[in-house]
Structure 1
């Protein structure tokens, strides 16, 4: 607000200050990761940001009392605390990320793989949250740190969702079977609704509310149905406006309103905002090539690709900077590592249990599908945003440091271990002539072959004359297994083609 009495007609610069600093740090971390580390952006940038925080904190301690150079670490911490991570992501930019992904996600792929995507985004997520909470409660009990089970279930529900931003960052850097990429990205687009619904239900119980399974089911059904209606309406409206074939600025603004408008209306209607903008994006992405010129579609896609890149740089930098507000100690670090191991064990168990209820889907699976899908569950900003949002809830004050610390460590390790390790897991089932054979990477690859695929059966990816990906089966001899990265992959041509869109 302008204060004319004090002569301050300029207002506050806090937003511009934070924006400028985060932009600068994002540039540094992104360039360092791209030119030095070479990791996927979703993994490298948070790591570089976290290391930068450690360096700043160490430098502040080292220079304490210095007359010439002084780093006010407390001022930096206060600035980071002023950033509302939940509002920035959940009530802000996530709508643009989801819509950008939905515009490029083919409706035909969703029609083909809706069963496994639906199972992963609902039942498997729910089972994962409860298995994780139970196992982590056992660890806490054994180590003498008694965190209530209901609090750990809340943590499990926040960590249950795979992050669409992290998934896209990892998948864009590797060559994977199309059917697995579709399922991983599809799961990440749709599981936000279930994740947030379970999270808010458990939070209500913690705050003294009553748990009623029927009421929860009705509420979830209401959220999904209303969200689909809102998304459908905005999708139809956007397609109608796009038919006008206006100048490029109008076309881009139409897709921007599709993202923010559907999300905002769904929030006001107490519906699932993520599902609303995903449905709208899917509708437009499925039809816009019929009403727009190819050049226009490419320009709009380029715009959204750029927006995604900028938002991702901001988001991953902010994840690393959240280290400023953590009070890390040996208990939190060890517990966070254990929580990461338990989480991914819980995801493996939950996926196997969930698909056991659907044997018709499970029996049609390619070998290794569940292992790869379980390993590929990268966590990211959504989990951290949910936990940071409830940090000041009175009933959770005592456990705030545990919740935030565990979540931060799990998110970082998820990117490093699962994200960087995903190519090796895929190579254990799908032959790659370029898989590493020397050093740590080669040792790790051989370990994945032994642990993940004991039958030694490999699939081979290729393309038919129309450019469609095909999957063939190859069973190497013991001699060829000795030199697995070197064997001749042309021999697969004599094998029957296994590519089948109905297979999981």
Structure 2
């Protein structure tokens, strides 16, 4: 009759995915990238508790060791890094406008490269100090490896956050653009440090040359597949062939890039950008809408499936007090290091930094949600002989950082956004009100923007309270007592116009 193990695994995971997704949607109402991992973790803890109470009696026998063995043998790296990530990245790239990339290329490039590397280094050094101070010394290279894995923002998590936050367009482009392009740098840095741990020779020149090769070849492969798929889309089509063509774009470009030892993520992002920005010239508006709807559905299924699997990883972690405390400390260090890295990375680029909207870097730093990519990298190497001794720390710290980044960075992003962008409906009472007042302290000047639209639906960002910029009371006048002010000083008016310039950051 054959083995049903593959079907059994999929049935169990699909059942758990449905349960976690429905519970999150109906009970918690959180974005899927945040709520589903939390619910998965809760379900696993409940299952472990139930097994300890009822798993060994005359009627029910559940072997928890078999469950742990099944989870350990699941190749998470192949599933995500060599599997579904190509669909996730291509789906995002198909909807990402090249005009936005051109407009915000510099900040996206800085965030996805220099800031990521600095964050990984700062995190590894700071966590090394904590481990030494607590008497649980871990090698600096191991912690730098962990920093490299946690350095990248996750496209799955960031899209879940952005769908629940009404962010200004420029911030949405930068957050999503960073998450699309930093995977190549993250994986390259991770593999370079892993090579040193394995005993390979490492030089900065060789690492940069290897990164340059990976990016250049990936761009060529992505362009070639994008051109090929655009040629395939010309003429009459069934909807099935349109969908299959875009699926081929995702898998084909990624696979060829892997064979060429280039960056698979960059290849499928370039291919997706090329097709997504030119298929309006070939396809009807309805066809484009239907293909996008398909990809949106696929993303939702993969997200649910992926985060359910992440929750199941709790079966193989031996949680104890020091591990939990260390994980929380690691998250705090990671959060601080992202802020420091982002602000330091922009210092050499004063022409970019000087134009930035007030509060942009603070919001971008807070919005760095971690997710499946970080876990996949760590889970793929945690049982290697050189790292097996620290596998609990690597997996435990990573899982706690990923979970807390969704809770703190994801759920906390609206409050940080409200500190710099005026929201009349921001919470005023209870815990939410207290948190909102805390976020307002990040905005030392008190200056806020407000996002409006003109008659043509074009977004405008204007200063909401220009009186914060005034040095003398007579520079502004309260027109009718309802808070709307008139600027009397020409120098102040010019400063406000500069701040409202749409070419800024």
Q: TM-score, normalised by structure 2?
A: 0.94
How far residue 81 of structure 1 moved from its aligned partner, in angstroms, is 2.0
- Give yes or no for the alignment of 1:114 onto 2:105: yes
Q: Deviations over 1:291-345 (max 9, x none)?
A: 1100000000000000000000001111111101111111111100000000010
Structure 1 residue aligned with 2:156? 165
Whether the aligned pair in 1 keeps the contact of 2:463 and 2:500 (CA below 8 Å) is no
Quick one: distance in 1 between partners of 2:450 and 2:159?
23
Match of 1:4 in 2: none
Contact kept, 8 Å, 1:59 with 1:71, in 2: the verdict is no
Q: Please tell me whether the aligned partners of residues 461 and 502 of structure 2 are also in contact (alpha carbons under 8 angstroms).
A: no
Q: 2:369 aligns with which of 353, 374, 378?
A: 378
Q: 3-state SS of the aligned residue for 1:156?
A: helix
**SS at structure 2 position matched to 1:394:** coil
Match of 1:503 in 2: 504
Inter-CA distance 196–416: structure 2 relative to 1 (3 Å threshold): same
| 2:235 counterpart of 1:234 | no
- 1:472–1:492 Cα contact (<8 Å) kept: no
Report Cα offsets for 1:78-97 as digits up to 9, x if no partner: 22223211111000000000
Mapping of 1:419-458 within 5 angstroms?
419-450=410-441, 452-458=442-448
Match of 1:101 in 2: 92
Report whether the alignment pairs 1:460 with 2:445: no
Output the CA distance in 1 between the equivalents of 2:125 and 2:66. Answer: 39
Q: What SS does structure 1 have at the residue aligned with 2:383?
A: coil
Instruction: Quote the Cα distance in structure 2 between the aligned partners of 1:331 and 1:363.
Output: 43
SS at match of 2:386: helix
Aligned equivalents of 2:8 and 2:110: distance in 1? 44
Cα distance change on mapping 1:157 and 1:115 into 2, 3 Å? same
The change in CA–CA distance for 1:432 and 1:393 in structure 2 (over 3 A counts) is: same
CA contact (8 A) 2:467 2:485 kept: no
Q: In 2 relative to 1, CA 442–488 (structure 1 residues): closer, same or farther, beyond 3 Å?
A: farther
Helix, strand or coil at the partner of 2:199: coil
Give 2:53's aligned residue.
62
1:491 corresponds to 2:487: no
Structure 1: which 4+ aligned runs deviate by more than 6 Å? 487-490, 492-495
Preserved contact between residue 451 and residue 460 of structure 2 (Cα < 8 Å): yes
CA RMSD of superposed structures (Å):
1.7
Q: Which runs of 5+ in 2 are unaligned?
A: 469-479, 488-492
Which deviations, in whole Å up to 9, do the C-alpha atoms of 1:408-435 show, x marking residues without a partner? 1000000001000000000000011211
Q: Give 1:60-209 correspondences, 5 Å limit.
A: 60-209=51-200
Equivalent residue, structure 1, for 2:462 = 472
Aligned partner of 1:355 in structure 2 is 346
Of the structure 1 ranges 371-380 and 461-470, higher mean CA displacement relative to structure 2 is found in 461-470
- In the TM superposition, residue 280 of structure 1 has moved relative to its aligned partner by 0.2
Aligned to 2:37: 46
The SS at the match of 1:462 is: strand
Report the counterpart of residue 477 of structure 2 in structure 1.
Answer: none
- Asked whether the equivalents of residues 53 and 321 of structure 1 are also in contact (C-alpha less than 8 Å), the reply is yes
User: Is 1:301 equivalent to 2:292 in the alignment?
Assistant: yes
C-alpha change, 1:15 and 1:438, in structure 2 (3 Å) is same
* Match of residue 288 from structure 1: 279
Q: 2:355 aligns with which of 360, 364, 369?
A: 364
Question: How many residues matched?
Answer: 486
- C-alpha distance in structure 1 between counterparts of 2:216 and 2:413, whole Å: 35
**TM-score normalised by length of structure 1:** 0.94
Kept in 2: contact 1:30–1:45 (CA 8 A): yes
Structure 1 pair 244/439, CA: closer, same or farther in 2 (3 Å)?
A: same
Offset, 1:245: 3.2
2:472 alignment counterpart: none
Structure 1 residue ranges without an equivalent (≥5): 1-9, 479-486
Q: Is the 8 A contact 2:24 2:32 kept in 1?
A: yes
Contact 2:111 2:178 in 1 (8 A): yes
Bigger Cα displacement from structure 2, 493-502 vs 102-111: 493-502
Q: Which residue among 268, 279, 282 is the counterpart of 1:277?
A: 268
Larger deviation: 70-79 or 281-290? 70-79
Structure 1 equivalent of residue 203 of structure 2: 212
Match of 2:311 in 1: 320
Q: 1:386 to 1:256 in 2, by over 3 A?
A: same
Name whichever of 202-211 and 68-77 sits farther off: 68-77
The corresponding residue for 1:418 is 409
Cα distance in 1, alignment partners of residues 189 and 72 from structure 2: 27
